[in-house]
Structure 1
Amino acid sequence: MGTGKSTVAQYLAEQLAYPYVDLDQEIINLAARSIPDIFAEEGEDAFRNYESEALSKVSEFTSPVVLATGGGAVLREGNCRAMLDSGCVIALTAEEHTIVSRVQNDRNRPLLQGEASKRVSELMEQRRGKYDFAHLSVKTDDRDVQQLAEEIVAFYRQYSRYEKSGRG
């Protein structure tokens, strides 16, 4: 949350000429209502079920896409396996103060109800180590989208060559 996943993924999709898929939008389409409504009406566990179902559908795509997941998608091991089985996984990270400054006024984030700083700290602790399965981890603090994209595209091109060689 607040690391720049959606922004960076959209830019990457343009650079790679791949379709951009936002998992949150896929969840909204699947549930036929907004994410805040899902949380309010059914709770976080139901949201996570929708998230897993949407991720499963996206991982069945046969052509490459750039997918932006929500930060909590890693809370289910099956989601992590689906991501790894589908391709190159990049984790975007940021320091707590950076995340708080980016999300503190966003009312569309149900997990931030209450004091944003405290909730971000709790979520970061809950998710610590959950992104370690990613092929690459990139810090987004004080970096612009173009810098991030250049680093990720360079890594992805190496990863793709390695995968195509049969060594991956």
Structure 2
Amino acid sequence: MKDNQRTHIVLIGFMGTGKSTVSELLAERLSCEAVDIDAVIIEREGMPISDIFATKGEAAFRTAESEALSDVLQREHMGVIATGGGAVLASQNREMMLKFGFVVNLHASAELIIERVSQDTSRPLLQGDVSQRVHKLLEDRKHAYDFAHCTIDTESMTPAQVADAIVLEWRLLF
């Protein structure tokens, strides 16, 4: 790597864009660890994310998310990190991602996201009318992912193709 401070590939993007799936494939290709920040939070808190939201609130979840992200980003060995869709909302998280990682925004249309997440009852931000909630959150976050080093549109690509595209971009820059 040209910048030895950047030791990770960090996947950002709205829920349902493929971050968790692609992180596993990408880590396999690069012979490194895949880390899902949501899984780290669940392990640390001892409860599902929906329960954290229900019992402690979104602010407590966001604090736990920032702490988990900070710990993972400061690991010495390279990893592929799948963040939660809202991890980018905190400026300190964006700064850490850029400092310690090559940040890749995975993008998909609202329609495809709705199709992918509509049956997932574990997503606390999608309670109620899923379509309406996705459209509102996408509007609220329309520029939240703009800081990424690159954006990959996952709409018409398989997860393997997305992983290959990320490796290509990463090798070009680092």
TM-score normalised by structure 1 residue count: 0.93
Q: Does 1:76 align with 2:110?
A: no
Q: Cα distance, 1:126 vs. partner? A: 1.1
Aligned counterparts of 1:101 and 1:134: Cα–Cα separation in 2 = 25
Aligned counterparts of 2:156 and 2:101: Cα–Cα separation in 1 = 27
Q: Does 1:153 align with 2:167?
A: yes
Pairwise CA RMSD: 0.7
Q: Does 1:99 align with 2:113?
A: yes
Secondary structure at the counterpart of residue 138 of structure 2: helix
Aligned residue in 1 for 2:6: none
* Superposition misfits of 4+ residues, deviation over 4 angstroms: none
Q: Cα distance, 1:60 vs. partner? A: 1.0
The C-alpha deviation readout for 1:48-104, integer Å capped at 9, x for no partner, is 010001011111100100000001000100000011111100010100000000000
Structure of greater relative contact order (alpha carbons < 8 Å, 6+ residues apart): 2
Higher strand share: 2
Aligned residue in 2 for 1:19: 33
Aligned counterparts of 1:77 and 1:105: Cα–Cα separation in 2 = 31
Aligned counterparts of 2:40 and 2:58: Cα–Cα separation in 1 = 16
Aligned counterparts of 2:46 and 2:96: Cα–Cα separation in 1 = 23
Higher helix share: 1
- After superposition, residues 38-49 of structure 1 pair within 5 angstroms as 38-49=52-63
Flag structure 2 segments of 5+ consecutive residues without an equivalent: 1-14
Aligned counterparts of 1:29 and 1:86: Cα–Cα separation in 2 = 23
The C-alpha deviation readout for 1:26-60, integer Å capped at 9, x for no partner, is 11122121101100101111110100010111111
Q: Cα distance, 1:157 vs. partner? A: 1.1
User: Which of 51, 57, 69 is the matching residue for 1:55?
Assistant: 69
Secondary structure at the counterpart of residue 91 of structure 1: strand
Flag structure 1 segments of 5+ consecutive residues without an equivalent: 161-168
User: Which of 131, 141, 157 is the matching residue for 2:155?
Assistant: 141
Aligned residue in 1 for 2:104: 90
Aligned residue in 2 for 1:117: 131
Aligned counterparts of 2:82 and 2:142: Cα–Cα separation in 1 = 19
Q: Does 1:67 align with 2:59?
A: no
Q: Cα distance, 1:136 vs. partner? A: 0.6
Q: Does 1:5 align with 2:19?
A: yes
Task: Report the identity percentage.
Answer: 48
Q: Cα distance, 1:158 vs. partner? A: 1.6
